[in-house]
Structure formats: structure tokens, C-alpha cells
Chains A and B, each alone.
Chain A
């Protein structure tokens, strides 16, 4: 669900860690422990690798020591703000087969975009690129669900205006969910740019608020770890 997924979906990213969304169940955690043991992965930060922290929305951070993956960082999460539960994510996933026969299970593009709506600067251009790449790939013959996805997630004013002109009915309908689509329909590019910026600001603010109690808990865990040596 991280940088590697972004590369496969069309964004340009050089990510040095690998992020996984997993099902938080005791049985699955046992399987994950076995896989991490093969990689000789150690937890390198708070919180500890426990189900209760995953269920709260924390990420667990590992570094691998096995020779074929020495130094690799792995982050594991199970709950993300604004993203459905794993049980809903899994059936919607994309499966890609690499040339060496390895298959990769990726969070679906709409879910990945939702997961990227964070407080960090770097995630917002990434969302823009991910949706643009999908738009240019399917623009000629879009499916209804793609049109809906683009209307709700495109962050490129020129493309939103083009889309609104081509599909005015759907644009009107979806403007109830995303009010800035009214500006796309009227072709007011400068106002649309401002509205996109405001939309981003509000999402980032919501993410900061979501993380506030979790960050406090992380700080408390760090203090406890320092105190206990």
C-alpha cells in the first residue's frame, strides 16, 4: 500500500520501505510473525508488535536482517483514517503478476488514494499523479465507476473541467458529495484551484486531529522505553 503500490499504479515514487495493510487477527498475526522471523525482522520503534496497537491505528515498524533483505524497512498497519476495514479492502484489491512470476496484492487504487489523504506534503502530489495516471489510461473508454472515481478524486483542475464538460449530469449529481465540482462545471479554473487547496487543507487538518491521541500514546511509549532502558 506504499510507494511500491504507487509505482505499479503509475505514480513516480522512490520509496525505501515497504508498507503492508494486514488483517488484524490473532491467527493472521501468527502467520505474519513467522514471515517476519524468516526475514529476521526486528521492531525498531514504538509501539511494540501487539494486536492492540494495530487495532488502534498504529503502524509497527521493522527492519530486516536476513541477507537477501538486509536493512529493508517494513511497516505494517491495519487501520487507516477514512479507509474501510481490511475485510472490505481485500476483495477490492488488485493482483499484479511480475515477470518473474511473483504476484503482488495491492490495495485498490481508490482505497490507496483514500489512505494517502494525510497531513504530509508529499502525499498530495502523489494522489494527483495516481489519479491522473488512471485518467490518461482509461480516458477514451471510461467505465461508470472510473468516472465516479475521477470526479471524486481528481486534483487536476484542467482535467476536472474537461470531465465536467463531457459528463455534466454525473458532475451535477456528484457535486452533492464534492461541492467543488460546481466550479468545474462552470469552468472557473482559478476558483477551482482555490477550492482544491481548501479541500486539501481540511483533510490535512482532519488527519492531524485523528493522529493527536495516537501521537500522544507514541510519545508516552517512547518515554517509557527510555525510562526502562
Chain B
């Protein structure tokens, strides 16, 4: 009998073993960090989605700041 750890690794097996409430709490923590960093609430563009509209307007980051941008790029 294969264990969850063997099949998907410890991290995901631990996630599977949480209760829905625990997962919700962990997910909320992730949201707090994401939003504090100025993360956008727009879903990632998904060109495979039948709803994908390249002309759809996007919102600004929730904190009103410019969000993450590249200031130096590697050689490739």
C-alpha cells in the first residue's frame, strides 16, 4: 500500500492531511503575504480558457503601488 508521502512527497501529503478549516487558515495566511507585497487580484492570463479576452481591462494592485517590476535582468 503506497503512502501519500511516497506518492506526492511530504509537503503535499501534509496538505492532504489537514482539515478543510486548517487549509483555509493556511490559505488565508498566504493571501495576507501576497496582498502585503502588492499582489494583483487579477487572475493570471489563461490563454487556454474559453473566457480569455486579451483586451480585458486589469485592475491596479490592491495597495495602489506599482507592484513588482524588473530593475535588472540577467543575460538571457
Interface residues of A (CB under 8 A from B): 4, 7-10, 12, 14-17, 44-46, 59, 61, 63, 70-73, 75, 96, 98-99, 119-122, 129, 132-133, 136-137, 156, 158-159, 162, 211, 214-215, 218, 222, 226
Contact = CB atoms under 8 A, between A and B. Distances in A.
Given A8-B23, A45-B56, A99-B25, A70 B51 contact: no
Contacts of B8: 129, 132
B32 interface: no
A96 B53 CA distance: 33
Given A158-B2, A159-B2, A59 B62 contact: no
Secondary structure dominating the interface of B: loop
Given A70-B62, A158-B7, A132 B24 contact: no
Given A16-B43, A132-B7, A7 B23 contact: yes
A71 B7 CA distance: 38
A73 B50 contact: no
Nearest to A46: B53
Contacts of A218: 50-51, 53
B48 A73 contact: no
Interface residues of B, number: 36
A40 to B, nearest CB: 13
Contacts of A59: 51
A17 B56 CA distance: 15
Contacts, number: 92
A36 B44 CA distance: 23
B57 interface: yes
Given A61-B56, A73-B42, 10 more contacts: A4-B27, A8-B23, A8-B24, A10-B18, A45-B51, A122-B46, A129-B12, A156-B7, A159-B2, A215-B50
B45 to A, nearest CB: 11
Contacts of A73: 41-43
Contacts of B50: 119, 211, 214-215, 218
Contact of B12 (A12, A119, A159, A222): A12
A17 B43 contact: yes
A6 B53 CA distance: 24
A7 B27 contact: yes
B42 A222 contact: no
A7 B30 CA distance: 12
A36 to B, nearest CB: 16
Interface string B30-44: 100010000011111
Given A16-B41, A159-B7, A44 B24 contact: no
B2 A162 contact: yes
Contact of B55 (A63, A121, A215, A222): A222
Contacts of A156: 7
